[in-house]
Amino acid sequence: MELAKCIYPFIKTSPEKTRPARLFATKVQELLKIGENWKPVVGLEVHAQISAKSKLFSGAGTSFGSPINSAVSFFDAAIPGTLPVLNKRCVEAGITTALALSCKINEVSHFDRKHYFYADLPAGYQITQQRKPLAVDGILHFNVFTPGIHKQPYPKHSKIKQLQLEQDSGRSLHDEETKRSLIDLNRAGLPLMELVFEPDLEDGEEAAALVKELCAILLRLGTCSCKMEEGAFRVDANVSVNRPGEPLGVRTEIKNIGSVRAVAAAVNFEIERQVLMLEDGLEVVNETRSWNTDTNKTVSMRDKEVKQDYRFMPEPNLPPLRVHLDSNLENKYNLIDVPFLKEQLPELPEESRRNLVEKYAIPRELVLVIVNEPTLLEIFSKVLNDRPNRSALVIAKVLVNSFLEVMNKNKINLDNCPITPEQFGEAIDLLETRKINLLVLKLVFEELLANPQSSPEKIVAERNWYQIVDEEELTKICQKILEENADAARKYKLGKKQIFNFFKKAIVKSTDQRADMKKAVEILKKLLQ
């Protein structure tokens, strides 16, 4: 009680938006000792749009950003008399995903109608899989590691209750000017896989880590683009808290969280909100909430207390979906061959990580970053494949440090990174042959962003960015700096050792960052003796 009261005003008066949600989260978590007095429970539901050219039950296209209502078949608009035709690619993608997540595939699954009344659902029901989904009982292993919060990565897993195929609904657009609501049916009927996870997680960081790993797997399988900003990957988070040893608490559901960062922030906020309410003697109500990215808070959307009756019933226009679990069966015609799909599974991200650590002795922190970002992994693999004698460790370090830093600074989305693996490889060679140093390497990346047609060799030659390695030349540079700063040099010799950094900076500056700093430092030390 006491504690809650002293934190409430803190929440209310905290400047919204300016405070990073994560810092805020850990601060309150500390104050409330959530781990000791309260046990948070988090379970995720993920809607992943299956990468397929056409919709789940119709031939309409699926590309994002098509003109409004242009990718709509008669079936998607629920014109009477139209019938669903199941898209084989979607079933295969669902099975492939289920296999990668160690699910048990149901030999026979069923489609059901889930009824609700909303303008963006023209048929008045969604076709989904309720009674018998495509697959059940899977598991997802992942590592949780948020620098600044965790000292080192720790392993975690979440069981998967089921994986089902279902249709997406349309989209309502609310026009403020004309005060009208308009419907875009392009999304109606898009193929989705819904993955329902067991309530196995404990905080926002774990939820975000699960989402990241799931995305890495789906991207590897090619079954989902995982573009959250396009709505192709949507996360609902169920959150409850209870006192240790007591039964699970009442849960709320945060719908459609739009980014990995928001998953962590929304879950942490919701845990704290519930703890504060309970500490204050209030009750958590079972409701649906949404995450507001402007205020960094969850807000109530509608309460679920009256359980909605979806009137589930079998979909009469689709026969049971039967797949082949046994590769020796004859008469496979037109059936989904599960053992074949299993053989086709690519190397999964965790396997890649293990390989990178074992084969190249790259530190795991670097590997985690590289494997989680398909563009980085692609560059890494290509650059190394092109010339296997390049140092894997140097490539990895440059990718994660210099390269990523320049990309982030310039707000480049790595999916559209203009720097090619060939250009990156050439830059690495310049670094490894000591023609340039790490500082200049970053300038080269900057220059390539501005001028993608150019090449690292050309840039370095044109601007004379070659590293100064010549002993004599470096000595002259150092001597000059010491002469110009004779006073500082004297102080250094009298014991003010911090001044050394000042000299280093002066060398970097006077050589336009081109000096071989390792050598320069040696020379400088000698001169100062």
Provide the binding-site residues for ligand ADP, judged by CB under 6 A.
41-45, 196-199, 238-240, 248, 251
Cβ of residue 161: shortest distance to ligand ADP, in angstroms? 7
Cβ of residue 227: shortest distance to ligand ADP, in angstroms? 22
CA distance 3 to 279: 8
Cβ of residue 159: shortest distance to ligand ADP, in angstroms? 9
Record the tokens describing residue 378, joined without a space. Answer: 């692609």
Cβ of residue 247: shortest distance to ligand ADP, in angstroms? 9
Nearer to ligand ADP, 200 or 447 (CB): 200
Among candidates 22, 487, 34, which has minimal Cα distance to 208?
Answer: 22
- List the Cα angle 317/321/324 in 5-degree steps: 155
Tell me the backbone φ, ψ of residue 171, rounded to 5 degrees. Answer: -130, 135
Cβ of residue 240: shortest distance to ligand ADP, in angstroms? 3
Among candidates 455, 436, 410, which has minimal Cα distance to 515?
Answer: 436
CB 57 within 8 A of CB 84: yes
CA distance 449 to 408: 12
Nearer to ligand ADP, 308 or 498 (CB): 308
DSSP-derived secondary structure letter, 403: I
Cβ of residue 98: shortest distance to ligand ADP, in angstroms? 17
Query: Largest alpha-carbon pair distance within the chain?
Result: 94
CB 289 within 8 A of CB 298: yes
Cβ of residue 97: shortest distance to ligand ADP, in angstroms? 17
Cβ of residue 39: shortest distance to ligand ADP, in angstroms? 10
Nearer to ligand ADP, 286 or 455 (CB): 286
Instruction: Give the contacts of 297 (CB within 8 A, at least 6 positions apart).
Output: 16, 269, 291
CB 76 within 8 A of CB 291: no
Nearer to ligand ADP, 238 or 437 (CB): 238
Quick one: residue 315, left, alpha or beta (phi over 0 = left, psi -120 to 50 = alpha)? beta
Strands 252-257 and 233-242: antiparallel
Nearer to ligand ADP, 257 or 427 (CB): 257
Query: Can you give the three-state secondary structure of 24-92, one letter per residue?
Result: HHHHHHHHHCHHHHCEEEEEEEEEEECCCCECCCCCCECCCCCCCCCCCCCCCCCCCCCCCCCCHHHHH
Strands 39-49 and 104-105: unpaired
Cβ of residue 518: shortest distance to ligand ADP, in angstroms? 54
Q: What distances in angstroms separate CA 420 from CA 272, 427, 438, one per listed residue?
A: 45, 11, 19
CA 259 to chain centroid, in Å, comes to 8
CA distance 276 to 295: 18
Instruction: Give the contacts of 363 (CB within 8 A, at least 6 positions apart).
Output: 357
Nearer to ligand ADP, 255 or 435 (CB): 255
Cβ of residue 140: shortest distance to ligand ADP, in angstroms? 12
Nearer to ligand ADP, 197 or 465 (CB): 197
Nearer to ligand ADP, 251 or 442 (CB): 251
CA distance 371 to 213: 10
Among candidates 246, 257, 240, 353, which has minimal Cα distance to 297?
Answer: 257
Nearer to ligand ADP, 113 or 114 (CB): 114
Nearer to ligand ADP, 208 or 384 (CB): 208
Place of tokens 């659902």: 121
Q: Which residue is nearest to ligand ADP (CB)?
A: 43
Instruction: Give the contacts of 30 (CB within 8 A, at least 6 positions apart).
Output: none
Nearer to ligand ADP, 307 or 411 (CB): 307
Cβ of residue 272: shortest distance to ligand ADP, in angstroms? 15
Cβ of residue 449: shortest distance to ligand ADP, in angstroms? 42
Cβ of residue 256: shortest distance to ligand ADP, in angstroms? 14
Nearer to ligand ADP, 46 or 260 (CB): 46
DSSP-derived secondary structure letter, 134: S
Nearer to ligand ADP, 94 or 199 (CB): 199
Record the tokens describing residue 315, joined without a space. Answer: 């979909």
